[in-house]
């Protein structure tokens, strides 16, 4: 797949020649007949290492723009504007009526597969990539003109069968029972006018969950109205399984030592700053000043764990992991961590502490077992992780607290009623990180707006910087 820059130029010359002599249409027909792509086949083209990285980073800008637009809860129009801006800048994709489509589509194809390699490594990365790619695909699908969209779907080898008029008549009553509530007054006409597809029911889990379709003998009968859902289910389920397959093949691919550093660098761009994965040799924080630092600067998730630890003199495993790795990432060395946890677990004997807890602490610092120095949990890992059950205190309060408990906590932290209302509204829309960001802004007056909180340790650093600026009497310059 890779060539030197010279070979690549030759290849491009060849493409250019073909472009002129063979003609653009035949190349397009054979390689990229559509703007939309299910990405079933990897590129066989030759590319340089530089292109490998640049294409991936450009696509990443688009995926990040999509993520940011979703996190900011933009309305449809603003969402479209933001995403289109990023697409035009980094990954332009014109419809079949425009010129120079091959290089655009080639870049789209290659960049997808490079990011697939970079983001197949962990569940968290796979999930993130899948979510953003699905959003990009959906955006393009909805923007596509009817002719190209239909032609693309026809070519996509989707396992759907159009229900014939006779079949439809035979199940007319059942189909009528599944018509959406909004058109209950004209049910018969609706069914008669819709084109229905028969698909294996496992291909449309979200429609099955919503009870929005008729199911019979393992088949789902999906009206044309749900075509977008149908295509999206197909796209995500295919990509999901291909990502798992890529993860299995990755160790072999990484034997090429040119690829590994690039893939790690690309992956890091999304994960952002990795907090706490490096060894803390001599951090600023000591066992004696952890309490003050956490109370003053830590986000609500960590203060909840800290409160529980102080009160119960104990935390269960998930809580110890979440809080312990956070402390490590704010600068608590392993010696100080052992001291801190020993003091915190004051009801345990020395023997119990050594036997049941000390090993795990050293393990987090890479001193036991596989000797991996673990990084602190990001917001998305905490929010999507196992929900706390009775006696647990891990998780994200904005996601896992009941509304009554959260409201009480917000009032305890001296938020005003309108501020509590703003946060609760965000939570109702499942915007937990935005709620946390608002909480930061309300509890750190002097900030108009900060980027969405993505990591508890980013919250902590912002809070420390904010306090330092306030002490100096200067407004804080938050990097955007
Ligand atoms: S959004 Fe992140 S930082 Fe904020 S409370 Fe939840 S997990 Fe913690």
**String of DSSP letters for 407-460:** HHHHHHTT--HHHHHHHHHHHHTT-HHHHHHHHHHHHSTT-S--PPP--HHHHH
Residue nearest atom 5 in ligand 1 by C-alpha distance: 301
Q: Which helix (H) or strand (E) holds 162?
A: strand 161-162
Mean pLDDT of 340-346: 97
| Ligand 1 pocket, residue 344 CB under 6 Å | no
- What pLDDT sits at residue 476? 45
Positions at the binding site for [4Fe-4S] cluster? 301, 379, 396, 436
Residues in the chain: 480
Mean pLDDT of 103-126: 89
382 contacts 322 by C-beta, under 8 angstroms = yes
CA 406 to ligand 1 center in whole angstroms: 13
- What pLDDT sits at residue 324? 97
Which ligand 1 atom sits nearest the alpha carbon of residue 399? Answer: 6
Nearest CA to 238 among 393, 398, 364, 112?
112
Whole-number average pLDDT of the chain = 84
* pLDDT of residue 275 exceeding 90: no
User: For the ranges 79-93, 200-214, 319-333, 432-446, which has the lowest average pLDDT?
Assistant: 200-214
Q: Show the DSSP H helices in 46-122 as ranges.
A: 49-71, 76-90, 101-118
CA 396 to ligand 1 center in whole angstroms: 5
pLDDT band at 356 (very low <50, low <70, confident <90, very high): very high
Residue-wise pLDDT tens digits, 6-55: 344 333 233 323 333 334 455 566 778 888 999 988 888 788 888 888 99
Sign of the alpha-carbon torsion through 239, 244, 245, 248: positive
- What pLDDT sits at residue 205? 81
Which ligand 1 atom sits nearest the alpha carbon of residue 398? Answer: 6
User: For the ranges 56-60, 71-75, 126-130, 143-147, which has the lowest average pLDDT?
Assistant: 71-75
From residue 80, give the alpha-carbon distance in Å to each of 32, 73, 76, 143, 294. Answer: 25, 12, 6, 10, 40
Sign of the alpha-carbon torsion through 85, 119, 52, 134: negative
Number of C-beta neighbours around residue 374 at 10 A: 16
468 contacts 462 by C-beta, under 8 angstroms = no
Which residues are CB-neighbours of 447 under 8 A, at least 6 positions away?
440, 441, 466, 476, 478
Task: Tell me the best of 386, 459, 463 to mutate to test the pocket of ligand 1, counting ligand atoms within 8 Å of each CB and taking the most.
Answer: 459
Tokens of 320: 């110890």
| Ligand 1 pocket, residue 379 CB under 6 Å | yes
Show the domains of the chain with their CATH numbers: 5-155+234-271 (1.20.930.80), 161-227 (no CATH), 290-472 (no CATH)
- What pLDDT sits at residue 155? 83
Mean pLDDT of 295-320: 97
Q: What angle do CA 53, 55, 59 make, to 5 degrees?
A: 115
| Ligand 1 pocket, residue 276 CB under 6 Å | no
- What pLDDT sits at residue 348? 95
pLDDT band at 200 (very low <50, low <70, confident <90, very high): confident
Which ligand 1 atom sits nearest the alpha carbon of residue 454? Answer: 2
Q: Show the DSSP H helices in 91-226 as ranges.
A: 101-118, 123-143, 146-155, 165-170, 172-177, 187-193, 205-209
pLDDT band at 282 (very low <50, low <70, confident <90, very high): low
Question: pLDDT: is 160 or 337 the higher one?
Answer: 337
- What pLDDT sits at residue 479? 37
Residue nearest atom 4 in ligand 1 by C-alpha distance: 436
> If 0-12 CB within 10 Å is exposed, 13-18 middle and 19+ buried, where does residue 20 land?
exposed
- What pLDDT sits at residue 319? 97
């Amino acid at each position: 797949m890779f060539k030197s820059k010279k070979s690549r130029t030759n290849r491009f010359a060849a493409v250019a020649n073909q472009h002129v002599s063979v003609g653009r249409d035949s190349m397009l027909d054979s390689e990229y007949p559509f703007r939309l792509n299910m990405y079933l086949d990897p590129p066989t083209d030759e590319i340089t290492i530089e292109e490998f990285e640049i294409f991936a980073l450009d696509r990443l800008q688009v995926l990040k723009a999509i993520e940011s637009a979703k996190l900011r809860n933009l309305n449809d129009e603003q969402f479209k504007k933001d995403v289109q801006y990023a697409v035009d800048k980094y990954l332009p994709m014109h419809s079949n009526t425009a010129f120079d489509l091959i290089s655009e589509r080639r870049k789209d194809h290659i960049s997808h597969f490079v990011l697939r390699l970079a983001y197949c490594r962990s569940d968290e990365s796979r999930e993130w990539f899948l979510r953003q790619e699905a959003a990009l695909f959906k955006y393009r699908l909805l923007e596509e003109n009817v002719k190209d969209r239909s032609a693309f779907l026809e070519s996509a080898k989707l396992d759907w069968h159009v229900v014939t008029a006779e079949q439809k008549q035979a199940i007319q009553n059942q189909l009528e029972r599944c018509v959406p509530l909004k058109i209950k007054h004209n049910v018969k006409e609706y069914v008669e006018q819709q084109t229905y597809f028969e698909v294996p029911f496992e291909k449309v889990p979200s429609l099955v969950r919503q009870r929005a379709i008729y199911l019979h003998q393992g088949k789902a009968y999906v009206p044309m109205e749900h075509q977008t859902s149908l295509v999206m289910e197909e796209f995500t389920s295919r990509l999901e399984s291909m990502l798992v397959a890529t993860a299995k093949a990755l160790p072999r691919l990484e034997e090429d030592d040119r690829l590994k550093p690039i893939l790690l660098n690309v992956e890091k761009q999304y994960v952002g700053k990795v907090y706490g994965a490096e060894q803390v040799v001599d951090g600023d924080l000591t066992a004696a000043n952890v309490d003050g630092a956490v109370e003053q600067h830590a986000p609500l998730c960590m203060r909840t764990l800290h409160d529980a630890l102080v009160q119960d003199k104990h935390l269960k495993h998930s809580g110890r992991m979440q809080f312990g790795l956070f402390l490590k990432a704010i600068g608590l060395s392993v010696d100080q961590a052992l001291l801190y946890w020993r003091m915190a677990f004051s009801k345990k004997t020395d023997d119990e502490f050594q036997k049941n807890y000390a090993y795990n602490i050293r393990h987090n610092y890479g001193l036991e077992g596989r000797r991996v120095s673990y990084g602190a949990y990001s917001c998305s890992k905490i929010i999507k992780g196992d929900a706390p059950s009775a006696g647990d205190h891990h998780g994200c309060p904005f996601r896992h607290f009941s509304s009554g408990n959260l409201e009480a906590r917000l009032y305890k932290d001296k938020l005003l009623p309108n501020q509590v209302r703003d946060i609760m509204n965000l939570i109702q829309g499942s915007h937990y990180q935005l709620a946390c960001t608002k909480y930061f802004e309300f509890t750190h007056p002097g900030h108009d707006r900060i980027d969405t909180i993505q990591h508890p340790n980013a919250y902590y650093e912002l809070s420390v910087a904010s306090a330092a600026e306030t002490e100096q009497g200067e407004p804080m310059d938050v990097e955007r």
